[in-house]
Copies of this chain bind each other. A is one copy, B any other.
Amino acid sequence: MRSVSIIGTHLTNFGRLDGKSLKEIAAEACVGAMDDAKISPKQIEEFVLGNFASGNLTKQETVAPIVANAIGLANIPATKVEGACASGGIALRYGYQMVTSGLRNFVLVAGVEKMTAATTSKAIESLVAAEDREIEGRTGLTFPGFFALVMNRYSEKFGTTREQIAQVAVKNRKYGVHNPKAQFRKEVTVEDVINSRLIADPIRLLDCCAISDGAGAAVLCPTEMARKFTDTPVEIAGIAQVSGRGAAFEYEDLIGFECTKLAAEQAMRTARVSHRDIDVLELHDCFTIAEIVASEDLGFFKKGTGADALKEGETEIGGKIPINPSGGLLSKGHPIGATGMGQVYEIVEQLRGEAVNQVSNAKIGMMHNFGATGTVCVVSVLKR
C-alpha cells in the first residue's frame, strides 16, 4: 500500500451561510481545495462527499454528482458517503483507500451540510435521524439527552463537578476567538456555561455545539507525487473507521465509547505512533462532556482523569496534548457532514505551521470524528 498525502485543503466559514445553497457551499470548499493544491479539476479521478442530512433538510440528494457537475469534474465517479457526524471523516477514509491501494492518484474528498435554513424542529428531526429510530428514536431521546445521560453517569462515577466539565467550553471558546472561520468568537466563563439555558439536565446551552452550515475539502495523492504540487504536503499516516452500538442500553456503562478506542488503536498502529508522538488533536467535542470522555477513550488520559487533566492545563497549547486549538465544534459549529473535513483543515494548518492558534513545531496531529450515539467513529493521524 502506498503512502497518501493531502496536497490542498479548504474550509468555508462555519455558521449561518444565508443565501448560499448546499451546492454552492460544497463547491466553494472543493474549488478552494483544488486551488490550494494548484491542481486542475481535469486531473481529479474520483470525488467522495460526506454529507448527512441533505435529503431531509435541503431536499437535495444525488448531491455528489451534482456538485461534481457544477465544478467541472466531468464523468468521474462521485459518491455521497453517510455516517452521521462522522460523514466527513468517512469521506477522507474512502479517498485514502483509493489512493493507498493504487486505484487512483488524485481524489477530491469533501464534506458539506446546510442546516440553518431549516426550522429548529426540522433540524432536530434531522439530527435524531442519526439514532436508531426503532429503539432510541422512539423514546424521544435527543442528542443533548443522550449526552446528558453520559454527563450524569460520568459525574456520578468519578465525582467530576459541573464546573470542571464547563471548563471544556471555556478552553475551546477561548481558542475560537482567534479562528476567523468559527461560528462563535466570544469567550465564555464557567458561570456563563452553568447559568446558560437548560437543554437536557445537566446539559446547558453552552455545553452544546451549534447547528451550522459549512463545507471542507481536501485533495489527496500518493506521497511520492505530492511535492510536485506543494512544499508542505501532509501525510495521512493512519486512518480507521469503526462502527459501534446503536443505542444507550447496549453499553455496559456510559462513561466511554469502544468505537473511539478501537479506531484510535487501529489508526495509531498503522501510523506507527504512540500517544507521546502526537502534538495536536482535533476532537469531536459535540458536547463539553464528549471532549473529556473522548480524550480518555483515545488513550491520552486514564478513564476518569480527563477532567483533572483539563483543569491542570494538559489539554491546552503547551500542555501534554493540545485539544481543539481551533476552538473545536463548540466554537466552530457543527455542520454535520462537514465537521470531519473541518478537522482535516485545522490539522493541516497546524502541520504547515499556519494555524490560528499554532502549536509550536507540530509534526503529528490526530483527528477524532464521532457519529451518533457511538455508532461510528473515524480516527486519523496526519504527519508532516
The A interface is mostly helix, strand or loop, or mixed, namely mixed
* Residues of chain B within 8 A of A375, CB atoms compared: 62, 65-66, 69
Interface status of A199 (Cβ within 8 A of chain B) = no
- Find out whether the CB atom of B75 lies under 8 angstroms from the CB atom of A79: no
* Residues of chain B within 8 A of A133, CB atoms compared: 21, 58-60
Quick one: CB contact mask for A224-248 with B, threshold 8 Å, 1 for yes?
Answer: 0000000000000000011111100
Interface status of A81 (Cβ within 8 A of chain B) = yes
Interface status of A134 (Cβ within 8 A of chain B) = yes
Q: Which of A71-108 contact B (CB under 8 A)?
A: 73-84, 90, 93-94, 97-98, 100-103
Distance between Cα atoms of A340 and B350 in the complex (Å): 43
* Residues of chain B within 8 A of A191, CB atoms compared: none
- Find out whether the CB atom of A242 lies under 8 angstroms from the CB atom of B77: yes
* Residues of chain B within 8 A of A132, CB atoms compared: 23, 60, 62, 66, 69
> Per a CB cutoff under 8 Å, which of B59, B97, B137, B259 touches A98?
B97
Q: Which of A128-157 contact B (CB under 8 A)?
A: 128-134, 137
A15 to chain B, nearest CB (A): 21
Quick one: CB contact mask for A278-315 with B, threshold 8 Å, 1 for yes?
Answer: 00000000000000000000000000000000000000
Distance between Cα atoms of A56 and B125 in the complex (Å): 11
Distance between Cα atoms of A191 and B250 in the complex (Å): 57
* Interface residues in A, total, Cβ within 8 A: 65
Interface status of A61 (Cβ within 8 A of chain B) = yes
* Residues of chain B within 8 A of A103, CB atoms compared: 1, 97, 100-101
* Residues of chain B within 8 A of A68, CB atoms compared: 243
- Find out whether the CB atom of B94 lies under 8 angstroms from the CB atom of A259: no
- Find out whether the CB atom of B83 lies under 8 angstroms from the CB atom of A80: yes
How many identical subunits does the complex contain? 2
Interface status of A115 (Cβ within 8 A of chain B) = no
* Residues of chain B within 8 A of A246, CB atoms compared: 65-66, 69-70
> Per a CB cutoff under 8 Å, which of B75, B126, B244, B262 touches A262?
B75
Distance between Cα atoms of A59 and B53 in the complex (Å): 10
Interface status of A109 (Cβ within 8 A of chain B) = no
Interface status of A31 (Cβ within 8 A of chain B) = no
- Find out whether the CB atom of B65 lies under 8 angstroms from the CB atom of A79: no
- Find out whether the CB atom of A97 lies under 8 angstroms from the CB atom of B101: yes
> Per a CB cutoff under 8 Å, which of B47, B63, B70, B134 touches A21?
B134
Closest chain B residue, CB of each to CB of A100: B103
What are the 7 A-B residue pairs with the smallest beta carbon separation, nearest first?
A101-B101, A77-B241, A65-B243, A62-B84, A80-B82, A61-B129, A55-B56
**Interface CB pairs A-B, < 8 A, 13:** A55-B56, A56-B56, A59-B128, A60-B129, A61-B130, A62-B132, A62-B371, A69-B132, A75-B262, A76-B242, A76-B243, A77-B90, A77-B242
A-B contact sample (7 more), CB < 8 A, given A59-B133, A62-B130: A47-B243, A65-B244, A65-B246, A66-B132, A73-B243, A75-B262, A81-B81
